[in-house]
């Protein structure tokens, strides 16, 4: 049976047993949840923000996508939500990511 890979913060992971996820090096995701991004290599901040974004003024929540453009998003304090390429373009326009 072929292993189906997914990503967690830019790192390849797979389900080794039902509901048990591991990185490709065998370490369980729950044992190293704050592993540096597999795309940019930066660790999450102490507050849990993506290392490449940090805390962004005017943003409620955001994810850079970790190399997967379709997973990027930003929720602005004004209520607008941008996703995918729109979010990546917003980050670039704000000199982020």
Under 8 Å between Cβ of 9 and 37: yes
Check residue 59 and give its pLDDT: 94
Sketch the domain layout of the chain as residue ranges.
1-35, 39-97
**For 11-52, what is each residue's pLDDT tens digit?**
999 999 898 999 999 999 988 877 899 889 999 898 888 898
The structure tokens listed for 78 are 């004004």
Check residue 78 and give its pLDDT: 94
- C-alpha–C-alpha distance, residues 3 and 14, integer Å: 7
Strand partners, 11: 8
């Amino acid at each position: 049976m072929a292993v189906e890979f997914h990503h967690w913060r830019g790192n390849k992971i797979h389900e080794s047993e039902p509901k048990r996820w591991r990185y490709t090096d065998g370490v369980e995701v729950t044992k190293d949840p704050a592993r540096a991004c597999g795309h940019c290599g930066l660790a999450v901040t102490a507050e849990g923000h993506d290392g490449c974004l940090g805390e962004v003024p005017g943003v409620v929540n955001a994810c850079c996508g970790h190399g997967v453009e379709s997973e990027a998003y930003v929720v602005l304090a004004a209520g607008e939500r941008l996703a995918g390429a729109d979010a990546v373009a917003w980050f670039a326009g704000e000199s982020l990511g």
